Structure 1
């Protein structure tokens, strides 16, 4: 069973994206990083989660995949405290969105989320030359 199946499909992942976005925009530490995009961010985050949770490739095929992630974070210079706050708010959003509470899922989600946050933090600090280099594809979050 994929993580996508475990959470119940796209609907719960959309709720997670909505709850997280609302919390992030209101947060004094990271709000400026999210306020610009609104519904676009929710759609893109939903597509990202659907793909990394193991269902389809719409984020890569239609939005641009990892290269899009790099472009959207370029120049933001995300600090470690902001990265940690992102993770904290996303983990809080799991409960509010009603995603599964089992320890196996929560542990694996947290591990993968921290890894993804570290990658986007590095992308936010890349030089223009690094941004031009292709860096691979999105990985799948597996058990």
Structure 2
């Protein structure tokens, strides 16, 4: 039986998802400042490993905890909502099945409390 990772097209599909996701994020005026000064190639690799692990792919996610990785970044609820929306749109753009897309966005959503570290401004 194929894993969901294999069903969506594996590494190549996730590579497309991650490229499209960061293209969207870096064009978003709310989100782009959060990524200034970061090594985008490294972030893309971590994102692909995370998504691959969620879909039972061969990846083993070995990065820092979500809380530690996002500490001090000042991610707001609005910013996190925008990230989830960009992820969902990127999955659709890459032709990922609805079931896999739901699994990935649900997994990302499960880290909301670890990633959102700042209050939204009124």
**Both structures adopt the same fold (TM-score exceeding 0.5):** yes
Q: CA deviation at 1:57?
A: 4.4
Aligned equivalent of 2:115 = 121
Corresponding residue SS for 2:29? coil
Number of residues of Structure 1 aligned to a counterpart in Structure 2: 116
Across the aligned residues of Structure 1 and Structure 2, the Cα RMSD in angstroms comes to: 2.1
Within 5 Å, give how 1:29-40 maps onto structure 2.
29-35=30-36, 36-40=38-42
Q: Residue 110 of structure 1 is aligned with which of 88, 105, 110?
A: 105
Aligned equivalent of 1:17 = 18
In 1, distance between residues paired with 2:109 and 2:78? 13
Aligned equivalent of 2:76 = 79
CA contact (8 A) 2:55 2:100 kept: no
Change (3 A) 1:31 1:120: farther
Query: Do structure 1's residue 92 and structure 2's residue 89 form an aligned pair?
Result: yes
CA contact (8 A) 2:87 2:105 kept: no
In 2, distance between residues paired with 1:93 and 1:110? 11
Aligned equivalent of 1:2 = 3
Aligned equivalent of 1:135 = none
Residue segments in structure 2 that go unaligned for 5+ positions in a row: none
In 2, distance between residues paired with 1:55 and 1:108? 13
Residue segments in structure 1 that go unaligned for 5+ positions in a row: 126-143
Corresponding residue SS for 1:4? helix
Q: CA deviation at 1:54?
A: 1.0
Structure having the higher helix fraction is 1
